[in-house]
Amino acid sequence: MFDHRHLLGIEHLSPMDIAAVLDRADTFATTPDSRAVRRDSLSGLTQINMFFENSTRTQASFEIAGKRLGADVMNMAMQASSIKKGETLIDTALTLNAMHPDLLVVRHPNSGAVALLAQKVNCAVINAGDGRHEHPTQALLDALTIRRRKGRLQRLTVAICGDIAHSRVARSNIMLLGKMENRVRLVGPKTLMPPGIEKFGVEVTDDMAAGLKDADVVMMLRLQRERMDGGFIPSEREYYHRFGLDAAKLAHAKPDAIVMHPGPMNRGVEIDGEIADDINRSVIQEQVEMGVAVRMAVLELLGEGRG
Ligand code: NCD
């Protein structure tokens, strides 16, 4: 059962909702002959992708997911659209609404903008990332990757490292992993740690050795320079020295710990290129693969009632 009209954040999901998405996504993730799964469950439905921020992988992933389910998918390049001519977000939403889409996938630089838009339209709305607030499909695809690799999504120690303060990926993951009863450690410089984050039930440290100790999962985050409005780190070299994931730091985690990164990654800033490419440790490409499966699951679950 997945009884929601929109997917605006992990905040609104129960552990059962999360399991329902992951179970559905699992059916899209594997075929005996490793070919992509196709269905026509969204045939006759219109999906519009509205990205008010640059995106490569997330937009492509939603587009492929919709097309594999038979939806009519349209991409609106919002950078170049009427927004530039001064139209408000709400007017854009109402204009699109008049075209009767069934599914609207929205990314926006402002936290809360996607939820606002959802109040104004009749279709299902999926948050593809809003400011530093939430990025629910990223947390779900991370969860699917972890569950498939570790065989479970409970009682794991997950270290989330780097620029926590500016990261919607971190926020959504903290909520999801917490709901599923995992131990979450946040590791990063104090300047990149949101104040009061401990109230989410996480442990906080600025020491990589302590943070990674016996971790099952090490999740690295990009330095979100576009969201920084000052000097949060002394220099990239210094940052890499203290917080960049290399073999020596990874040695503190469990021997079978997996390494994750939502992308796009900066090699030599938050992660060593060799670790990122190490097929025995890094699941970064698998995350991209699971991204399509999770987005197919979300689109299908929300589209089911609309056919
Ligand atoms: C993330 C995002 O946009 O929040 N990337 C993504 O969805 N592929 C993380 C990031 O930009 O660093």
Closest CA to 94 of 114, 57, 121: 121
- Least confident interval from 86-100, 107-121, 237-251: 86-100
Q: How far is CA 231 from CA 101, 192, 220, 280, in A?
A: 43, 10, 20, 36
Take atom 7 of ligand 1 and give the residue whose Cα is closest. 58
Residue ranges lining ligand 1, Cβ < 6 Å: 57-58, 129, 135, 138, 168-169, 222, 224, 262-263
Residue 307 pLDDT exceeds 60: no
C-alpha Rg value of the chain to the nearest Å: 19
| Confidence label for 227 from pLDDT (cuts 50, 70 and 90) | confident
Q: Say if CB 2 and CB 14 are below 8 A apart.
A: no
> What's the mean pLDDT in 264-279?
96
Residue 174 CA to ligand 1 centre (angstroms): 15
Q: How far apart are CA 104 and CA 239, in angstroms?
A: 38
55, 61, 63, 138, best to mutate for ligand 1 pocket (most atoms within 8 Å of CB): 138
H, E, C per residue of 99-138? CCCCEEEEEECCCCHHHHHHCCCCCEEEEEEECCCECHHH
Q: pTM for the complete prediction?
A: 0.96
241 membership: H or E segment, kind and range: helix 236-243
Ligand 1 atom nearest the C-alpha of 135 is 4
What is the predicted pLDDT for the residue at 83?
A: 65
- 261-265-269 Cα angle (round to 5): 110
Nearest atom in ligand 1 to 56's CA: 8
Tell the residue nearest (CA) to atom 12 of ligand 1.
222
Centre of ligand 1 from the C-alpha of residue 80, in Å: 21
Identify whether the C-beta of residue 188 lies closer than 8 Å to the C-beta of residue 243: yes
The string of pLDDT tens digits covering residues 131-155 is 999 999 999 999 999 999 999 999 9
Q: Which atom of ligand 1 is found nearest the CA of 138?
A: 7
pLDDT at 306 over 80: no
Q: What percent of the chain has pLDDT over 90?
A: 83
Per DSSP, the three-state class of 77 is: strand
**Buried (b) or exposed (e) across 108-139, using 16+ Cβ within 10 A?**
beeeebbbebbeebebbbbbbbbbbbbbbbbb
The string of pLDDT tens digits covering residues 161-187 is: 999 999 999 999 999 999 999 999 999
